[in-house]
Amino acid sequence: MAQLIHGSDYNPEQWLDRPDIIDGDIRLMKKAGMNSMSIGIFSWSVLEPEEGKYDFSFLDMIMEKFYQNDIKAILATPSGARPRWLAEKYPEVLRTDSLGRKQVFGGRHNHCHSSPIFREKITAINTLLAKRYKDHPSLFMWHISNELSGGCFCPRCRKAFIDYLKKQYNNDLDKLNHDWWTTFWSHTYTNWEQIEPPSPLGDTNLHGLNLAWNRFITHLCADYIKTEVAPLKEITPNIPTTINMMDMFTGLDYEVLKDEVDIISWDNYPHWHSENDYDAAIKADFAHDWFRSLKHKPFFMMESTPSLVNWQGYNRPKRPGMHILSSLAAVAHGSDSVQYFQWRKSRGSSEKFHGAVIDHCGRDDTRVFKEVSELGKILQSISDVAGTQIKSEVAIIYDTQNRWALDDAQALCNKDKQYFAQVLDHYRALRKLGVNIDVIGSCQDFSSYKLICAPMLYMISEQNANRLKDFVKNGGVLVSGYFSAVVNENDLCYLGGCPGGGLGEVFGVWAEEIDTLLPGNTVSVADEQNTYTAADFCEVIHPTTAKTLLKYTQEFYQGTPAACVNSYHNGKAYYIAYRDSGKFYDVLYDNITTELGICREKSVLPYGLLIQKRGGLTFVGNYSENYIDFIIPDGSYDIVSGSQGRLSLQPYGVLAITKKE
């Protein structure tokens, strides 16, 4: 039977001297409609208090209680944080920073991923965990480590980097020197051992090196995950694995890591009520779509807060309704779970004021507990949606490696090249039409889409550029624009004009130069009827075969094209040469989606309203502080409230509309 997971991070090891609290927790979990708990995430020092001396009694106890109460366990491997003895006896497990400083014990998520001792110790405890609970009926999923991140600059990691490069380059140092353009500033390598990771004490300007180092960090992390997963897969082959990824995290390329786990999961903490809620919702939806599109399968929202967090600038409790609204948005975008950090507030240390289902008061009559319980019931009522896929005819390319290269490039506005903001602008325009969207990396398959938007795709390999070319050739519509296809996958500029990699022919334009506008400055662009506004970046382009849609009406490039469209074989390619303030995208996507017959709402949605379709349900959310009129189509009703027909959707209200039987 399909089931949506409703769960939480749970740390009973902090309460072992209070069995009354633990028993109360289990009772309240049932009352709140929770069916899964993530446990053991930071339990290493309890599970192995001394090297080789294991004590699984607390896990035995809690797993048994879960079993008795029909609660699933997402069991973590304990490498989120290490016990003191491990660092004390084996300092090699501690990271070294880019200035060469060895860390001392403390914190979490900060082990040297190449350390053989660390890998040996985690393998040992993972093996024991898997053996001990392999037949336990509550064991539901493996949660590998916690929020993996970061790199280490110790001599062993440096050696691993050099070995990785030797392999990548087939021992051809000349090729590496060419790809990294090391003749620049006389940085040519004459032997492999000269290669050092990027460091403020040495090289930070060798972009090929920076890119390679970022790729290596992901590679090492993938290899580390393999080590953790190996015993689990051997002993419990049918239990799925996951790592909890982080919101738009740029430190690792999740397109690579996705292959190391069975299920994608991520931790979702929007800045509700401190930034504009509609903008925050657009960002959260984008992230959901990104994580779902990694495997094109339902994912898990492994963490979210039931109330507030404690690490944002302004930590504001979710306003009444927001918890249910934002949780159902996750489900609407493909999550098979709504999970929290955390079930119960810890009594001490840094997360004691982080939101939880159960506060220090221990009560179940709080606003938060009541909303969580209400959500528990709603999740049960829409459980059929679990496991269903999301169909998208539109994809936006958002590419982490492109972001690395763009951020690194010394160009445009160095403070912020607005890559993510620009991608979001395209996303928002399409979401205003109620379009379902996949968010994919540039290495993914393009063939199933009708429309692909690839804003600021600065770095693209010739191979992927060719695939985009084929997409358009075969009838697809491609939208891109300024500063796209500028460098290849090694961050070497394409010669012969941009967009490069063969895409110039697809767009029918070539780009001559780009203007970076100062903050607050704008440039007008217009067609015969309308005027739009450019901010941040204006590229000067020349159509070769493209038709001009808009022209600049100011600046030294006045009268030259600002947006073009080119028919290419069976498809079309749009090139928008400037950063639009949003209005042109609205018009553009209204036209393109109509022309392509893409599934969307009839008219542009009112501000604040977002719609997403999944598994026979239409989710409608109001992220504004105003009531919004909405008509539920004849023959359908809202599962949440039972409403039908015309209604006024309250602020932070949500509908899950389905057809009447």
Contact residues toward Zn ion (CB under 5 A) are: 112, 152, 154, 157
Q: Rule CB under 6 A: which of 39-78 touch ligand GLA?
A: none
Q: Is 391 in contact with 333 (CB distance < 8 Å)?
A: no
Choice between 154 and 221, CB closer to Zn ion: 154
Which tokens hold the place of 655? 């509908």
The angle formed by the CA atoms of residues 521, 526 and 529, to the nearest 5 degrees, is 140
Nearer Cβ to ligand GLA (196/351): 351
By CB under 6 A, tell whether 316 contacts ligand GLA. no
- Is-catalytic flag, 595? no
Q: Whole-angstrom Cα distance, residue 322 to residue 326?
A: 6
Q: Exactly one of 147, 260, 371, 393 is catalytic; which is it?
A: 147
Q: Which is nearer to ligand GLA, 309 or 322 (CB)?
A: 309
Which lies closer to Zn ion via its Cβ, residue 97 or residue 586? 97
Residue 147 interface partner, choices Zn ion, ligand GLA, none, CB cut-off 5-8 Å depending on type = ligand GLA
Please identify which residue in 147, 255, 399, 425 interacts with ligand GLA, judged by CB under 6 A: 147
- Among candidate residues 48, 228, 255, 303, the one labeled active-site is 303
Residues 346/352, Cβ–Cβ less than 8 Å: yes
- Identity of the residue, 351 or 470, whose beta carbon is nearer to ligand GLA in the bound complex: 351
- Cβ-closest residue to ligand GLA? 267
Binding ligand GLA by CB under 6 A: which of 10, 299, 341, 404?
A: 341
Least distance (Å) between residue 105 CB and ligand GLA: 18
Identify which of 395, 522, 392, 398 has the alpha carbon closest to the alpha carbon of residue 455.
398
- Residue 157 binds: one of ligand GLA, Zn ion, none (C-beta under 5 to 8 A by kind): Zn ion
Kindly state the smallest distance separating residue 224's Cβ from ligand GLA, in Å: 17
Per the listing, tokens 């620009």 go with 422
- Count the alpha carbons within 13 Å of 559 in the hemisphere toward its beta carbon: 1
Among 203, 255, 303, 425, binds ligand GLA (CB under 6 A): 303
DSSP 250-282: -SS-HHHHGGG-SEEEEE----TTTS-HHHHHH
**269 is an interface residue for ligand GLA by CB under 6 A:** yes
Residue (271 or 614) nearer to ligand GLA, CB: 271
Question: Is there a contact between 130 and 231 (Cβ–Cβ < 8 Å)?
Answer: yes
Q: How far apart are CA 286 and CA 430, in angstroms?
A: 11
Angle (deg, nearest 10), helices 207-235 and 400-408: 150
Among Zn ion, ligand GLA, none, what binds residue 269 when CB lies within 5 to 8 Å by partner kind?
Answer: ligand GLA
Strands of the sheet with 609-614, listed across from one edge: 609-614, 617-622, 654-659, 636-638
Q: Is 354 in the site for ligand GLA (CB under 6 A)?
A: yes
Q: In the complex with Zn ion, which residue's Cβ is closer, 150 or 321?
A: 150
Q: Catalytic site residue 303?
A: yes
Please select the residue that binds ligand GLA; options are 43, 115, 126, 146, rule is CB under 6 A: 146
Contacts with 178 (C-beta within 8 Å, 6 or more apart), sequence order? none
We find the least distance from the C-beta atom of residue 108 to ligand GLA, in angstroms, to be 8
Return the structure tokens found at 55.
Answer: 């004590």
Q: Give φ, ψ of 407 to 5 degrees.
A: -60, -35
Q: Work out what residue 75 binds among ligand GLA, Zn ion, none; the CB cut-off runs from 5 to 8 Å by kind.
A: none
> Encoding tokens for residue 485?
């296809």
Strand order in the sheet with 139-143: 300-303, 263-267, 241-246, 139-143, 72-76, 36-39, 5-10, 337-340
**Residue with tokens 């506005």, as numbered in its chain:** 413
Q: Which does 473 bind (CB under 5 to 8 A by kind): Zn ion, ligand GLA, none?
A: none
CB-based contact 458:402 (threshold 8 Å): yes
Residue 267 interacts with ligand GLA (CB under 6 A)?
A: yes
Q: Closest distance between Zn ion and the C-beta of residue 185, in Å?
A: 28
Q: Which residues are designated catalytic?
A: 147, 303
Q: Contact positions toward ligand GLA, by CB under 6 A? A: 146-147, 267, 269, 303, 309, 341, 351, 354
